[in-house]
Amino acid sequence: MKLIHIIPLATLATAVYAASQTFDFKDPKGMNNAIFKLVAPLESINGSASGISGTVLFDPENPATTTGKIIVATESLIVPNPLQKEHMHSATWLDAAKYPEITFEAKSFANVKTETNVTTADVTGTFTLHGVSKEITAPASLTYLKDKLGDRLPNLKGDLLVIRAHFSINREDFNIQKGQNLDKVSTNIDLTLNIAGAAIAK
Amino acid sequence: MLVLVSAGATWLATGANRGWTKTSVMVKTLDPVTGIEGISYDKKFLPGVDFFGAAFGGAALLAGASLFFRKSKPNNQQNNQ
C-alpha cells in the first residue's frame, strides 16, 4: 500500500478515535447502583450494589461503536438482613474473597436507535460472575448529557453518559449453588443497572 | 401469652414483613442531573417471620417453665371441715 493511501486511512482512524470519549463510571457521589431481585417460592430477596467502576468508550455521533467494561465489587452487594449478607458473600454462595469482581464487557451493539440524546440498543458482551464468563445480550439505554458534568460536580467541565439496563441471569449458569436451595433462593436473578459516567473536558 | 401478643403486635405495627428480620431499609434518592435513583440504607428494625418464631419459642418456654412455679391451691375439703 502506497503512502498516499495510508495517510487518508490514518486520518480517518484518528478522526473516529478523537470523536469517542472515555467515560469513567467511578461516581464520586456514589449514586451508581445495581439492583438485584430474586423471587423464590418461600422468600424474595432484594438488594443492591454500589461499588461500581469501569470505563466506556462512547461516540455520540456513532453510539453503535460503544465498547467498555463495567465492574461491580462483590463485597459491595448488600441485602437488608446482615446474616443473609454474610451468607451471600461467603464461599458457599458468591465467594467474594475468591471472586472480588462481577463484570460486564460490552462487545457489540444491535438494533441501535437514537432519538435526540437517547440511544437504545441490545448490547452483547461477556458477563462474569463467580469466576464463570458467559455471553449475554441485554437491552440498554444510553443517555448522553453534553456539558452537564458541571451541574453535578461544580468546578468540573465535561459530559455525562447515563446507562440503564435491565436483564436476567440464572445463578446455576454461574455455578452458584447449582440445584440447591431452590425454594428459598430463586435461580432467576433480575438485575437493573443505573449508572452515570463522566468524561472530563480537556 | 403476653410475649406472643407483644411480638405479634410489633410485627403487625412494623408492616407485617413476611421475609427474614431486617436491620436496615433501602432508601432511594433522586439525582436531578442524571435522573438516577441512588440507594442508601437507613438503620431500621423490621421484625420478620424469624422474630415471630423466636417469640413463639420464648413464649412456649415461659409457659413450660411456669408449670414448675405453680402455687398450690388450698384444699377445699379441709376448709369445709
Closest by CA to A76, choosing from A146, A4, A26, A13, is A26
Closest by CA to A51, choosing from A69, A78, A82, is A78
ipTM of the complex: 0.78
Contact state of A80 with B35 under an 8 Å Cβ cutoff: no
Domain boundaries, chain B: 2-68
pLDDT of B80 strictly over 70: no
Question: What nine digits make up the cell of A163?
Answer: 446507562
Q: Are A161 and A189 in contact (CB under 8 A)?
A: no
Which residues from A are below 8 Å from B39, CB to CB? 33, 35, 48, 50
C-alpha–C-alpha distance, residues B10 and B19, integer Å = 15
Mutate to test the interface with A, among B36, B41, B42, B44 (most CBs of A within 10 A): B36
The shortest CB-CB distance from B41 to any of A80, A145, A195 is to: A80
pLDDT of A11 strictly over 80: no
Which residues from A are below 8 Å from B48, CB to CB? 81
pLDDT band at A14 (very low <50, low <70, confident <90, very high): very low
Domain boundaries, chain A: 21-200
The shortest CB-CB distance from A30 to any of B25, B38, B46 is to: B38
Closest by CA to A36, choosing from B26, B46, B18, is B26
Domain A21-200 grouped into CATH 2.40.128.110: yes
Range with lowest mean pLDDT among A1-5, A80-84, A174-178: A1-5
